[in-house]
Amino acid sequence: MMNAEQQYIDLFSQTEAMICKHSAEVLNALRAEAFADFERLGFPNRKIEKYKYTDVSKYFEPDFGLNLNRLSIPVNPYEVFKCDVPNMSTALYFVVNDAFYNKALPKINLPEGVIFGSLKEVAEQQPDLIRKYYGKLADTSKDGVTAFNTTFAQDGAILYVPKNVVVKKPIQLVNILRADVNFMVNRRVLIILEEGAQARLLICDHAMDNVNFLATQVIEVFAGENSVFDMYELEETHTSTVRISNLYVKQEANSNVLLNGMTLHNGTTRNTTEVVLAGEGAEINLCGMAIADKNQHVDNNTSIDHAVPNCTSNELFKYVLDDQAVGAFAGLVLVRPDAQHTNSQQTNRNLCATRDARMYTQPQLEIYADDVKCSHGATVGQLDENALFYMRTRGIAEKEARLLLMFAFVNEVIDTIRLDALKDRLHLLVEKRFRGELNKCQGCAICK
């Protein structure tokens, strides 16, 4: 067993009572089994096929601080944080490190019955609701990071939308990393949309301090029959941040889910997304975009399981890599024997702006049904020299021409966003990123 695992096995053995004391009974109920799974599995490394492009275990080797005793962080995010997406008029909430910030909540009237709040608190107030869903998709026996997160996570956020309720106002959750020593956070997000419910959620990741951060995150999404759910994740941290996120989604009949994960600025990012289409007529749109330079590393690993007939999946991931950046994409579409009339499309397009940038792509189709429409394609290339030449003959400077071409390249992913204010804002953020102006989140007092 590597040293990385041993220090956390020892830590949990010494602090289990403290961890449980500052969490909720429902969350604590899964810890012992998750810890046993973690002891057995350890952290994933490159020997595991799913993690062959990112050696996750090495990022856990350094010594990180953890706030297991839940000391409060002296920051009011509502005062210091001015969001990067204005005109969205969202319902705005914060998770500071891995604790839901509820000292000052926005005065927002969410529709009756809708819950958005601290996972720990809601688990204490409504244990039956949380018990029914928490940990049901995130299988600790199959993934070392999920097992680790379930062992150590004490809080996070929950969104619950009851039957046939439509939440018109988008909800925004900002994850802020804040510490003066190298620091680890383990957060959970639980999202439950009952039959016919509708909601949109934007999750933003930001890092306030120039220390090394390691964030693990596990998100579980239950999309009930006929529900509609959009989730956008926007990462704008810094080059000393490691983010390892596992997202699990289960969709019932005729549900419609859009997931769009955008990495604009990071250090090392590993996102795993697993979607099960469990009811007929379900549709998933799974999109992602990464813009990376310097020595940044972005790895997206996705799987879509067509478990029943008559479901649709559309997948689109685009990367733009500069300098010595490394990108990886592995996408599996599984069509089970009974899943006739599946319609599935997967596309991964990648631009390497330098000879030193590297992209690994691995599209996979496993089809065990005969009446299906499935396609997948992957390309890795450089900017079109003919297009560059054409633009330069029209008087556009080479640098500007390159920017325009890169911008047009990722535009397709931005255009999947079903929220106009966010779409407009992202056009601006991406342009700033390509111009090298987006080293930090703009408009945010933290970074000034």
Residue 420 amino acid letter: D
Tell whether the model's pLDDT for residue 225 goes beyond 50.
yes
Of the candidates 400, 398, 342, 403, the residue with the CA atom closest to the CA atom of residue 369: 342
Q: Answer whether 207's CB lies under 8 Å from 444's CB.
A: no
State the pLDDT at residue 448: 33
Whether 252 is covered by a domain: the verdict is yes
Whether 59 is covered by a domain: the verdict is yes
Q: Answer whether 301's CB lies under 8 Å from 269's CB.
A: no
In 10 A of CB 75, how many CB atoms?
Answer: 17
Whether 159 is covered by a domain: the verdict is yes
Q: Is the dihedral of CA 92, 98, 104, 109 positive or negative?
A: positive
The DSSP result for 377-393, as a single string, is: EEEEE---HHHHHHHHH
Q: Answer whether 319's CB lies under 8 Å from 292's CB.
A: yes
pTM score, two decimals? Answer: 0.95
177: which strand partners? Answer: 207
Whether 429 is covered by a domain: the verdict is no
232: which strand partners? Answer: 202, 260
Enclosing domain of residue 349: 4-381
| pLDDT tens, position by position, 285-315 | 999 999 999 999 999 999 999 999 999 999 9
Tell whether the model's pLDDT for residue 1 goes beyond 50.
no
Structure confidence at residue 78 as a pLDDT band (50, 70, 90):
confident
Whole-number Å distance between alpha carbons of 258 and 1:
39
Pairing of strands 373-381, 343-352: parallel
What length is written for the chain?
A: 448
330: which strand partners? Answer: 301, 362
Whether 432 is covered by a domain: the verdict is no
Position of tokens 């009237």?
109
- CA 198 to chain CA mean position, Å: 20
Whether 106 is covered by a domain: the verdict is yes
Whether 423 is covered by a domain: the verdict is no
Whole-number Å distance between alpha carbons of 214 and 19:
19
CA dihedral angle for residue 437, residue 265, residue 357, residue 431, rounded to 10 degrees: -40
State the pLDDT at residue 2: 56
Mean pLDDT across the stretch 152-165? Answer: 98
Q: What percent of the chain has pLDDT over 90?
A: 86
Tell me the three state secondary structure of residue 426. helix
Whole-number Å distance between alpha carbons of 188 and 154:
8
The DSSP result for 283-337, as a single string, is: EEEEEEEEEE-TT-EEEEEEEEEE-SSS-EEEEEEEEEE-TT-EEEEEEEEEE-T
First to last CA, the chain: 43
Half-sphere exposure of 431 (CA within 13 A, CB side): 10
- Name the burial class of residue 447, with classes exposed (0-12), middle (13-18) and buried (19+) by CB atoms within 10 angstroms of its CB: middle
Position of tokens 């409504």?
126
Mean pLDDT of the chain: 93
Tell whether the model's pLDDT for residue 74 goes beyond 70.
yes
Q: Domain tally for the chain? A: 1
| pLDDT tens, position by position, 35-66 | 999 999 999 999 999 999 999 999 999 999 99
Mean pLDDT across the stretch 93-98? Answer: 93
Whether 387 is covered by a domain: the verdict is no
| pLDDT tens, position by position, 253-270 | 999 999 999 999 999 999
Tell whether the model's pLDDT for residue 207 goes beyond 60.
yes
If you compute the radius of gyration of the chain from its CA atoms, what whole number of angstroms results?
Answer: 21
CA dihedral angle for residue 229, residue 233, residue 234, residue 239, rounded to 10 degrees: 180
Residue 201 amino acid letter: L
Q: Answer whether 11's CB lies under 8 Å from 39's CB.
A: no
Half-sphere exposure of 179 (CA within 13 A, CB side): 20
Half-sphere exposure of 267 (CA within 13 A, CB side): 18
Cα 79 to Cα 106, 170, 209: the distances in Å are: 12, 21, 17
